[in-house]
Amino acid sequence: DTAVSQTPKYLVTQMGNDKSIKCEQNLGHDTMYWYKQDSKKFLKIMFSYNNKELIINETVPNRFSPKSPDKAHLNLHINSLELGDSAVYFCASSQESGVSGYTFGSGTRLTVV
Amino acid sequence: QKEVEQDPGPLSVPEGAIVSLNCTYSNSAFQYFMWYRQYSRKGPELLMYTYSSGNKEDGRFTAQVDKSSKYISLFIRDSQPSDSATYLCAMRNTNAGKSTFGDGTTLTVKP
């Protein structure tokens, strides 16, 4: 019954590897997001999709590639992982305008060693 | 300068205290204001959202927005140990497509 679910919860991997994080929402929302939270709790937008269309692409290295096969799913693929990519990645969803707030997943804690 | 500045904390209060959490912002186009609560190792959860200036109350929580001062607050009355968490303010304008978050304030309520 989880509203926004992400997998995996934890990911430990070596530098240079490629990894993917998956996200699914069952709320019927039109818009999905990826946010990155650093060790100081700052949440920074990475990408946003509305009905499978990319609408926000912040200044994120092109090693990060989102993909939305349908409006209920938003995946994040990361190539050539670097130490600085270590963070918690949150998926979120909202009604189209997002002005009434987001529903977040529980996060994927990525550690690059 | 960041668009949204949040009182850094951490904040530690005794149970039953009134807590005030605050954010200031620089973008006068922001019209929608949100507060999220994040427990350790969990995702942020939406507590309240408000539109434009004014107050909104929900149980022990009151959100206040003063657009003229570009200042928002979240008040927690009769604070409980279960309120111990990081609180994040967020805001957006109508067409932004994204919310901008503050850095968060970590609150500990001691029994």
Q: Are B105 and B9 contacting, i.e. CB atoms less than 8 angstroms apart?
A: yes
Contact check, Cβ <8 Å, A56/B46: no
C-alpha distance from A7 to closest chain B C-alpha (Å): 13
Closest to B81 (Cα-Cα) out of B12, B6, B8, B7:
B12
pLDDT above 90 (res B88): yes
Contact check, Cβ <8 Å, A41/B38: yes
Share of chain B above pLDDT 90, in %: 80
The mean pLDDT values, 10 residues at a time, for chain A of 113 residues are 91 97 95 91 91 86 94 96 96 83 95 97
User: pLDDT band for position B93 (50/70/90)?
Assistant: confident
Contact check, Cβ <8 Å, B92/A99: yes
Please give the pLDDT value at position B7.
Answer: 87
Mean pLDDT of B65-82: 96
Please give the pLDDT value at position A105.
Answer: 96
Contact check, Cβ <8 Å, A45/B103: no
Contact check, Cβ <8 Å, A102/B99: yes
Write the burial class of residue B34 (CB in 10 Å: 0-12 exposed, 13-18 middle, 19+ buried).
buried
pLDDT above 90 (res B74): yes
Please give the pLDDT value at position B108.
Answer: 97
Which residue of A lies nearest to B39 if distances are taken between CA atoms? Answer: A106
Mean pLDDT of B41-45: 94
User: pLDDT band for position B52 (50/70/90)?
Assistant: confident
Give chain B positions within 8 Å (CB) of A41. Answer: 38, 86, 88, 103-104, 106
Strands B85-92 vs B105-110: parallel, antiparallel or unpaired: antiparallel
Which residue of B lies nearest to A102 if distances are taken between CA atoms? Answer: B46
Strands B54-58 vs B4-6: parallel, antiparallel or unpaired: unpaired
Q: Are A40 and B98 contacting, i.e. CB atoms less than 8 angstroms apart?
A: no
Please give the pLDDT value at position A52.
Answer: 84
Please give the pLDDT value at position A18.
Answer: 97
A4 touching chain B per CB within 8 A: yes
Q: Are A6 and A105 contacting, i.e. CB atoms less than 8 angstroms apart?
A: yes
Please provide the average confidence, as pLDDT, over all residues in chain B.
93
Contact check, Cβ <8 Å, A102/B49: no
Between B97 and A3, the more confident residue is A3
Among B98, B106, B107, the strongest candidate for a mutation testing the A interface, having the largest count of A CBs within 10 A, is B98
Contact check, Cβ <8 Å, B97/A56: yes
3-state secondary structure B11-23: EEEECCCCEEEEE
